[in-house]
Amino acid sequence: MGEFTLEEINETLDVNVRAPFLASQAAIRHLTKGGRIINIGSTVATRMPRTTGSLYATSKAALVGMTKGMARDLGPHGITVNMVNPGPTRTGMLAPDGSEVAEAIRSFMATKEFAHPNDIAGLVAYVASPASQFVTGALLNIDGGYTV
């Protein structure tokens, strides 16, 4: 486990837990039946195959409980709450292609390909659509088989 300062812990929890909670709280005041809350998590909320990720994984795991709790609380009002969990995605957080770290991550994947942000956006668009009205409290992995 890495050494983390209190400042690093607070910053990670502020961004990944407190901000989504407060944003949801603010949004609820304006949502009506058919409203959607979509939390963006990470596959590391439920699977951490490498070292030094405990703080980030902790913050994303907290979103699991928040998502499920809010889904239960808001369901009677016709509001769904779900969590989209991207796996390895081509963003600034992913190690450069060809690096030892990227290849290690790829070795865990069924497809051996990293997602593009548009792949994630497509799932978010579905969860936001009327077609997903019966989906709530779900953790939706989009990860190229990283968690299988």
The pLDDT of residue 140? 98
Q: Encode pLDDT of 57-111 as tens digits.
A: 999 999 999 999 999 999 999 999 999 999 988 888 777 777 888 888 888 889 9
HEC string for 7-73: HHHHHHHHHHHHHHHHHHHHHHCCCCCCCEEEEECCHHHCCCCCCCCHHHHHHHHHHHHHHHHHHHH
Above 80 in pLDDT, residue 2?
no
56 assigned to active site: yes
Q: How confident is the model at residue 51 (pLDDT cuts 50, 70, 90)?
A: low
Asked if 16 and 60 count as a contact pair (C-beta separation under 8 A), the reply is: yes
Average pLDDT over residues 116-134: 97
The superfamily (CATH) of domain 6-142 is NAD(P)-binding Rossmann-like Domain (3.40.50.720)
What average pLDDT does the segment 122-144 reach? 97
Q: How far apart are the first and last CA of the chain?
A: 24
CA-to-CA dists, residue 123 to 81, 112, 126, 127, 128, angstroms: 14, 20, 5, 6, 9
- Which of the residues 56, 90, 124, 138 is marked catalytic? 56
